[in-house]
Structure 1
Amino acid sequence: MKLVGIAGSIADESYNRKLLKYIASHFSREVDIELLDINDIPMFNQDEDQTESEAVQYLVKKIKSADGVIIATPEHNHTVPAALKSVIEWLSFNVHPLDGKPVMIIGASYFTQGSSRAQLHLRQILEAPGVNAVVLPGNEVLVGDVKNAFDSLGNLKNQGTVDFIHETLRKFIKFVKVINTIDEQEDSAYESEDLGANGTAETTVDGVDMNADDWVEQAAKKTNAAEGSDYVKLDRGLLTVNQLNYFLNTMPIELTYADENNQFIYYNKYLDTKDMLAPRKPGQVGDPLSSVHPGRAVKHVQQVIHALREGKTDLVSMPVPGNGPTKHIMHYYKAMHNENGEYRGINEWVVDLWPIVESYLKMTGKMLVDDPSNKVDASTGASAAPSTDASTGASESEAEPETPSKPDTDASTGASES
């Protein structure tokens, strides 16, 4: 994987550039990071367009050819340096190399906050219309007291800081793969995927407003739908509607159904909205998919659904960016077909895999450790010196199990499109 690193400082002695150099050198076996210089970039002035200048075009070409970008920002008066802001202005004026590009933010400062306010501001800038970068959520790398952070050889002294940077970089590598897997689909046919559900399906309920909060009640009345103690004959069973609800609402996963017309028509009430891993609201049922996804995700939703509809894949899955040591939430999207093999919509399920992994570790007395042969993905988190529960043989390690996978529709976290 090829990344580029940009230090947001033009100072001769920049600790943020030093931090980037350390990361590029120390983790070179896992990822190739090329440092880019912004010293020759002129201050932004839209009246004197420098887009085609050699300095700006150098950045544009390097960023476009990279899989992702790491930006290290100092903090000047609670915000990013003028030089870095000017660079981003040029990169969102007439050229847009950061559009859809995965970006990781890090930073160092003289004081204990470690450029936290500048990083927050930078995140907002990168997600602005016209920039549209896809910023790794959470996972803030904040190196404080930076004057004392490095030894004479340019290495970070604190092992805890090194380990945290390593863990965050691993997450970013997975994040980059997720975003770029989506964008690899060059075929523009996905754009025909109508998320507004303007067509019809065999089960479309005519005469009921899709966006009505009480769509379920209106549609049920319109179709004389079975309810309560009415029986429903299934492929391998006979259940009442009440029994179906009991059964589905006690599934330990969150289920969602979208039909072939891209209308969101069902989710199981396993948990209240506020407690769900992927929150759904009763009033959303019946809505077209365009109404239940943010604008920034529409392109990716179209790509995923189109791939499933056209049979390019039967299953799309991804871990949620920002998973931690005690959670590993996965989204799965499975194409559904009728008895004739015709596409009939999507079965989405969301599940936190960590309790399953944790139970396995406790039952077997095993633990999660780094795979020394896995130099790029680093797909398993390290279990550092865990103790063992004498009663169960369980590892008390809180390692993070992560597996690279295909993306879901909401992999993008960038700003709305301009």
Structure 2
Amino acid sequence: MKFVGIVGSNAEKSYNRDLLYFIRKHFKTKFELEILEIDQVPMFNQDEDWKESFQLRLLYNTITRADGVIIATPEHNHTITAALKSVLEWLSYEVHPFESKPVMIVGASYYDQGTSRAQVHLRKILDAPGINAYTLPGNEFLLGKAKEAFDDDGNIINAATVDFLETCINNFVKYVEVVSTLKKPKPIEPEDLHVNNAISTTISGIDPDDPNWVEKAADLVGAVSGDTYVKLDHGILTVNQIDMFLKAMPFELTYADDNNQFLYYNHNQDSDTMLAARVPSQSGNRMDTVHNSLPPARMKNVEWVIGTLRNGNQEYVRTMVPNPDSSVVNTHNYQAMYYPDGSYAGINEIVFNFRPWIDWYLQATGQHLAGGSAPAGMAQGGSDATSGASSSARNENAQATDATSGASSH
């Protein structure tokens, strides 16, 4: 479960920010929480374009994909901050990411009553036309005397307060599970699989279907190779080290960008031994070229996977491809990737045989699949795996198909 936490203040020091960071750390096993700021959002003006603000684009894209939102609001003059009100106006005028989105309200204040009046006001705003959020009823978490509430490590000191916060958090998680059944996915528009419109990273001047695209494109843009160092987000590696790292992964990895151009796969074995066959000449291809052997109905499945991830209806799509070999559970995971502003950046696909991982886990824990036999070297009679693994393959969406390899779940 992925939530977004919105700091309802644009101040440099905010106890509501501290509260969200405590929630993220303390309840990290219950959900993932991405905390977003509003300090760079301009005052709402309907004559301006919301897309001009990086922070607004990030808020819109991230809220759209989130399972739920937690807003931590201060109280200024018996109401929410002007900064938070402006954000909500921006996100209810031309775009509506809060539509049918589960929202939980929390708040921290210097005073005993917490942010009770601001929270009441915020509930009314979230219920307004144009926003139409599903706000968690009751469960008002009001952290008073915020200056004395946290220790030096950012933890809430009072155990009873933490217990009550956990009760509210647990209720919100359940609420999200219920509300998610009412979610209506965005309609999927036709996908351009022919790469007709270049994006900022498209290498123009070379036919994407040229079998020597990699070499020609590298020469055209002066792509680095060999022992040239590359500064990454959390490290520095040479191009050769990155290549070795990716090839050593126990998965088949592919990447197609948001222009539906197939740019990369980690070539670590021959195509006839791969679960999703790939050949070097396919790098750079248009997606419709990669899938040109598929019948039209299967191509629609490819479009469904891409469109689902592009729209933010799901952050990943998983499917298992039938295999006559019982030692193979052919698993495909399609994960959406995002630019810094949270907009869709393409798909990374992970393909692997899940069976050895299942067998290793069961053998290591002394368990076996429900209704099945124990793996080799294991005694019979172990309890069913606590992970919920089942001998019957579970497909998250029966219509899903391999977006880059063409493997189908049918």
Q: Report the TM-score when normalising by structure 2.
A: 0.48
Q: Which structure has the higher relative contact order (CA within 8 Å, separation 6+)?
A: 1
